[in-house]
Structure 1
Amino acid sequence: MLREFVNRREEIKTLKDLWRKEGLTLALVYGRRRVGKTRLLEEFSRDKNRVFVIFEDKPREYNFRLLSKKVSEFIGFNVEVRDFPSLFALLKRLTNERVLVVLDEFSYLIKKDRGVLSELSRAIEENRDLNALIVVSGSHVSLLEREFFDYSSPIYGRSDANIKVRPLKFKHLYEWFNASTEDLVKIYSVTGGTPKYLEFFSGRNVEEEIKANFFNSSAFLFREARALLSEELRELSTYLAILEAIARGNTKVTQIANFCYMKENQVVPYLRVLGELGIVRKVTPLFGKKGIYEIADNYFLFWSRFVSPYYEEIEGNFTEAAVFDFERNFNTFLGRPFEEIAREFLIEANRKNLLPFRFTKLGRWWRRGEEIDIVALDEGSKKALFVEVKWSDLTAGKARKVLRQLEKKAELVGLEDYEKHYGIIAKRIEGKENLGLAFDLGDFDEVFTKRLSKTAGSNDSLSIGGES
């Protein structure tokens, strides 16, 4: 289901600024597959004088035939384009108005012939007076970052802007769906805000939609993870095992190695590759050095936890075990994605001056079995906010108990000379107005949709969360 174009205001603004310039300008637009790069470029270029080509994972000759066809359609007669210097020279001779040239999935060209980078660099150098915006776009993030940002690359320093297109944030789902905040949390927790994945949901019966999209052998989201990994990686089974290990709570190298029946030094290179792809990240605690590994993308997190272990069974239409696991454990699973959404909530509240102070640093803390979900600091004024996150319904009594435990854990952090504040974020909190900094999904709705109870600029806490 194709929905209204959502967000991307900053990306569009950057492209519009480049379009208004004179002469030759180059922009890199990149990001993981399905994140909406092509849709972004289509929206931006809709009313422009443009050549728009989407390259394929095929030989150079095939792709330049595609390019020749698009250029021929643009200028009105047949031409054969064999390289970028001749393309730029041709456009300079035949066009007076500013022209937009979109080279989408350019990373396919690089993979087939790295010399194309030197060729593009030479085309730019020889045609600086061409009045055009050249947009190079691609999905192979690590490849494009290496080629465009490495000093030794022939294209280094040529781009006027580098735009990394990321998945949508949780707050943008309010623009996509007419659904409750609880249902939006569930959708975001299995899609990670990737626009292509969001299109498979209506928000009307979310858990049934999840079953239909993940536990059906013909469904796109059932096969997508393996398809993406197969395109990027060899030794697929090893990477799948590592992802399942992390999804099941094995976050230290030793734990991951034991789960996969591997040695620690064997696991690390695989983790590094998954990190380069943006699927896994290493997280270190505030004031600590030893990190843990977690799956950074909610889609891969959910898929690795609930789909991958049952892949063959689902493929054979024997879905009972997978569905049972999902129905039994999905609510527990939501706790981890909800922590990330809670951080986004606090960042949004911070921007609107709705907390006791403006924090400049945000992270997690853990040590020797004790953990605090969110710690927000203003190191300049020495103020700290400690927050516990619970994906559950809490009575006022339970919430007070959580806050008391949080105060005890905060003493272990060692910020003796800091002014300390304590908060709780949960699915629902009974009597939250009497608990100080207590927030639930009702507050998410207000903050993310800008229907605020206090005017921006106030340093008080949200009235909906009570007195600080």
Structure 2
Amino acid sequence: MVTRTNELKRLEAIYQSEVSNIVLMYGRLGSGKESLMDTFTTGKSYFYYRSRQCSDAKQLSYFDKQMRETYSYSKIGQSFEECFKNFRSKDGSKHIVIIDEAQFSIKKSNELFQSLVSLKNRKLYPGKVMVLIVSSSIVWAENTFPEIIGNQKSAVDETIKLENLSFLDVVRAFPDYTVAQSVSTYGIIGGVADYVDRWNGKKQIKANVCEHILSSTGFLYKEAEGYISTELRELSCYNTILGSIASGNEKLNDLFEDTGYSRAKISVYMKNLAAFDVVDKVVSFETGGWDNTKKGVYRIVDPYINFWFTFVYPHLSELTYRQPESFYNEFIAPYLDEYLQSYFVDVCREYLHLLNVVGQLPIKLVKIGTWIGKEGTIDVIGQSSNRENVVGICNWAEKQMSYSRYEELLESMKKARITANTIYLFSATKFDSKLVELSKENKSVVLVDMTEL
């Protein structure tokens, strides 16, 4: 099981502080927040309430009932504040209050948040408390919740977003996998904690895809559309747009021509999808070669949703009557390496970031990104505060990285109007002999074999 060590340490540090706190903690469905809370509360005094999708009156009724059962009192509370007046720590220690799936219970139409603030300020309970407001809705946490609390933003002491796991986390989760298998897994399911927990690291990639994605009983079979529908209505419209992007229509005008939707409508839908990290507008690394940069490119940034709409959604009819293995062999296997190229780039970028953190680069980077040209791409660019650069290109699918790829990189650098202190050439396979000789003669050209990642 994935352990969110950094987030756990942060929660522990907040708990150990000598003051009362309110903490907003949120992450997408499957982020592993439940197991994190379970680990954090072990051995501590706490009250946990899971919010329901219901009216304010029923929410208060459920909340009050749980309070009375937990703290053994009989008087029915007529408000959240009244309920909290019966609240107490069993051993006198700092008491934890968890409001889970808070998007259903903390609203402008009720006083729950104000009651939590009063609780923190010791107006309802004399002891120290740590209030955890928890949500699996990124849209609510980042947009709606700030509107609800208004000018009381300072009452929230800490915000913790449970980001998707990194590639390094995925590698650690599957110790029996080769680096190539870990990259493949990362490109298919991404870093969603629950997905990683349920993926079988003892089985091959194909076996996992067939069992968990292509089988109607697989836990990921309906996950892509299910996840989108948790935050958005009009699923058919979002499916249309995602299917179009996955098929290669990455610019607004291409989507307009392919879907028939107006540009304004597409822009609104894109904004909604971006609000909970499904799509993003790719912003090319800023260089002097702005005229040569491709602009307005959209990408599906959620790996599993991208995988589903690239390989499965276009062939749902075939999936119904074909065996998973047969479907995989025809519709996935021949194209998987090409698909994984962009995720290998993500992995290489993460590797460069880690080298930067531990001071193993020739310059200290302050930003890392990708330059997308009208002709040519620089997979990785890192820049220091005084605008010195390191650049890199990544090869996943070709049998070896050729010298011509290096020459293409130099040409792209001219178009981007940048120079580089060091050039990194990343390859999942071999390097041709000419590149090997170049790296021996020119120490600014560094070859990185995938097994080093």
TM-score range, shorter chain: 0.7 to 0.9
Measure, in 1, the Cα distance between the counterparts of 2:152 and 2:241.
35
Could you tell me which residue of structure 2 aligns to residue 410 of structure 1? 413
Could you tell me which residue of structure 2 aligns to residue 424 of structure 1? 425
1:216-227 counterparts in 2 under 5 A? 216-227=215-226
Letter in 1 for 2:173: W
8 Å CA contact retained: 1:23, 1:129? no
Measure, in 1, the Cα distance between the counterparts of 2:74 and 2:205.
51
How many residues of Structure 1 are paired with residues of Structure 2 in the alignment? 435
Shift in Å, 1:84: 2.8
Letter in 2 for 1:426: S
Could you tell me which residue of structure 2 aligns to residue 459 of structure 1? none
Q: Please state if 1:168 is matched with 2:165.
A: yes
Could you tell me which residue of structure 2 aligns to residue 100 of structure 1? 96
Query: Aligned match of 1:388 in 371, 380, 393?
Result: 393
Measure, in 1, the Cα distance between the counterparts of 2:320 and 2:18.
55
Shift in Å, 1:123: 4.7
Query: Aligned match of 1:9 in 5, 12, 34?
Result: 5
Could you tell me which residue of structure 1 aligns to residue 240 of structure 2? 241
With over 3 angstroms needed to count, the CA separation of the structure-2 counterparts of 1:63 and 1:114, relative to structure 1, is closer
Letter in 2 for 1:190: I
8 Å CA contact retained: 1:99, 1:131? yes
Could you tell me which residue of structure 1 aligns to residue 36 of structure 2? 40
Please, what TM-score do these two structures have when normalized by structure 2? 0.87
Letter in 2 for 1:355: L
Shift in Å, 1:62: 4.7
8 Å CA contact retained: 1:24, 1:129? no
Measure, in 2, the Cα distance between the counterparts of 1:67 and 1:169.
37
Measure, in 1, the Cα distance between the counterparts of 2:127 and 2:150.
23
Shift in Å, 1:410: 0.9
Could you tell me which residue of structure 1 aligns to residue 451 of structure 2? 442
8 Å CA contact retained: 2:246, 2:306? yes
State the SS of the aligned residue for 1:166.
coil
Measure, in 1, the Cα distance between the counterparts of 2:276 and 2:266.
16
More off after superposition, 76-85 vs 139-148? 76-85
C-alpha RMSD of matched pairs (Å) = 2.7
Measure, in 2, the Cα distance between the counterparts of 1:352 and 1:394.
31
More off after superposition, 160-169 vs 284-293? 284-293
Amino-acid identity (%): 21
Measure, in 2, the Cα distance between the counterparts of 1:330 and 1:80.
59
Give the gaps of 5 or more residues in structure 1: 445-468
State the SS of the aligned residue for 2:143.
helix
8 Å CA contact retained: 2:120, 2:130? no
8 Å CA contact retained: 1:67, 1:81? no
With over 3 angstroms needed to count, the CA separation of the structure-2 counterparts of 1:233 and 1:283, relative to structure 1, is same
With over 3 angstroms needed to count, the CA separation of the structure-2 counterparts of 1:360 and 1:197, relative to structure 1, is same
Q: Please state if 1:132 is matched with 2:129.
A: yes
Shift in Å, 1:188: 1.0
Letter in 1 for 2:396: W
Shift in Å, 1:11: 1.6
Letter in 1 for 2:162: V
Please, what TM-score do these two structures have when normalized by structure 1? 0.85
8 Å CA contact retained: 1:370, 1:409? yes
Measure, in 2, the Cα distance between the counterparts of 1:34 and 1:426.
32
Measure, in 1, the Cα distance between the counterparts of 2:18 and 2:217.
49
State the SS of the aligned residue for 1:412.
helix
8 Å CA contact retained: 1:403, 1:423? no
Q: Please state if 1:183 is matched with 2:181.
A: yes
Could you tell me which residue of structure 1 aligns to residue 193 of structure 2? 195
With over 3 angstroms needed to count, the CA separation of the structure-2 counterparts of 1:260 and 1:305, relative to structure 1, is same
State the SS of the aligned residue for 1:360.
strand
State the SS of the aligned residue for 2:396.
strand
8 Å CA contact retained: 2:213, 2:221? yes
Letter in 2 for 1:279: V
Deviations along 1:235-270, one digit per CA (max 9) or x if unpaired, are 111101111122222211111222212222221000
State the SS of the aligned residue for 2:30.
coil
8 Å CA contact retained: 1:217, 1:316? no
Deviations along 1:253-293, one digit per CA (max 9) or x if unpaired, are 11122221222222100000001111111111122483311
Measure, in 2, the Cα distance between the counterparts of 1:79 and 1:38.
31
Give the gaps of 5 or more residues in structure 2: 440-444
8 Å CA contact retained: 2:381, 2:390? yes
Measure, in 2, the Cα distance between the counterparts of 1:141 and 1:82.
31
Measure, in 2, the Cα distance between the counterparts of 1:201 and 1:195.
10
